[in-house]
Amino acid sequence: MNIVQVPRRANFNKTISITLAIYLLGAVVYGAFEAQIIDAASVQDQVVINLTVTSEITITSPSDVTMSPSIPGLTGGAATGTATWTVITNDSSGYSVTHIASSTTLDGDTQGDAFAAYTEGTAGVPDFTWSVAAGAKEFGYTVNSYTDSSSIAALFKDNGSACNTGSSVTYNRCYIHASTTAETIYNRSTETTSSGTSFTIDYKAESGSSAFITEDTYTATTTVTATTN
């Protein structure tokens, strides 16, 4: 009887090859699984939060103006009165202000007399120096600001001797008659602070030394409107 012997080394090598293949396959599977775990741990997402803040504007309401001193009806004189408004806005383009009068004149309440509209040297251009003839009686106004004079309309700015030119704002200068058509008097191009910015309108009336004006109370109504740009 012939006995066939299988080489034991061949079986051993075969076993090693199978074991190595299983190990390599396991390593590949584990590596892929581990990569997925690592990737999952670093996944990111973003969210954008939006909020709209709307534009608003407020304006104060000063007391009515009582001009002073009283003007003698025969010998004449001048009287002034001031109103100040403060505007607050968060509008990034700022705001503008218009001024309009119910009448160009300062009218007597009961007797029918009146201070006429101020007469400029050049119609429609403020006078650097207020001037009323001896026989005339006139009413006008000018604009000032102690917080942002740069935003006052060019009409009321001066070069030291004339108005509607230059960049200065000189107190008690550049008077013009009150208009029944809305006139832009102030224009700011940016938002204000939380305290706002203020502007002042100075009203003036004068009766010349030889003018005659009836005893009465004289009244005019003006309106200012602040609007975001």
Residue 222: is it exposed, middle or buried by C-beta count within 10 angstroms (0-12/13-18/19+)?
Answer: middle
Q: Which tens digit of pLDDT belongs to each residue from 16-27?
A: 566 555 655 655
Q: Which range has the worst mean pLDDT, 26-30, 46-50, 81-85?
A: 26-30
Report CA 74 to chain centroid distance, whole Å.
46
- Helix, strand or coil for residue 157? coil
Confidence band (pLDDT; 50, 70, 90) for 135?
very high
8 A C-beta contact, residue 175 and residue 158: no
* This model's pTM is above 0.95: no
8 A C-beta contact, residue 179 and residue 163: no
β-strands 77-89, 57-59: how paired?
antiparallel
8 A C-beta contact, residue 168 and residue 160: yes
- Sheet-wide strand order for 197-207: 57-59, 77-89, 197-207, 137-144, 114-117, 106-108, 218-219
Proportion of the chain above pLDDT 70, given as a percent: 83
| pLDDT for the residue numbered 41 | 81
Q: Which tens digit of pLDDT belongs to each residue from 157-175?
A: 999 999 999 999 999 999 9
